[in-house]
């Protein structure tokens, strides 16, 4: 994460020094980096949600199998 911060700051300072802009100004390249980071994080969040759903489904299947095994135990 620090590399992104450094790159954004260096890009802002270069623009400030060369064009007299505010150092807090974000260029198109900086905004593009932020956009790419946002997309990557969105995809990772979606994959994590799918992973949690799959784990929950597997646990549910195990509980169903356990219930079936218990209900068909030696006393039934």
13: nearest Cα among 2, 28, 24:
24
| Ramachandran angles phi, psi of 59, nearest 5° | -65, -40
Please give the chain's pLDDT, 76 residues, in tens: 577 777 666 665 555 555 555 656 666 677 778 888 889 999 999 999 999 999 989 899 998 888 888 888 776 5
Residue 44 confidence (pLDDT): 92
How far is the C-alpha of 10 from the C-alpha of 73, rounded, in Å?
A: 69
pTM for this model (two decimals): 0.49
Q: In which domain, by residue range, is 16 found? A: 2-71
pLDDT of residue 69: 85
Q: What is the pLDDT of residue 68?
A: 86
Pick from 3, 11, 49: which is nearest to 31 by CA?
A: 11
Which element (helix H / strand E) includes 65?
Answer: helix 28-71
Number of domains in the chain: 1
């Amino acid at each position: 994460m620090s590399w992104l911060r450094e790159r954004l700051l260096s890009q802002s300072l270069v623009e400030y020094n060369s064009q007299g802009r505010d150092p807090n100004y974000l260029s198109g390249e900086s905004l593009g980096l932020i956009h790419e980071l946002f997309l990557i994080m969105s995809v990772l969040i979606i994959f994590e949600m799918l992973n949690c759903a799959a784990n929950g489904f597997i646990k549910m299947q195990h509980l169903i199998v356990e219930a079936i095994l218990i209900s068909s135990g030696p006393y039934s």
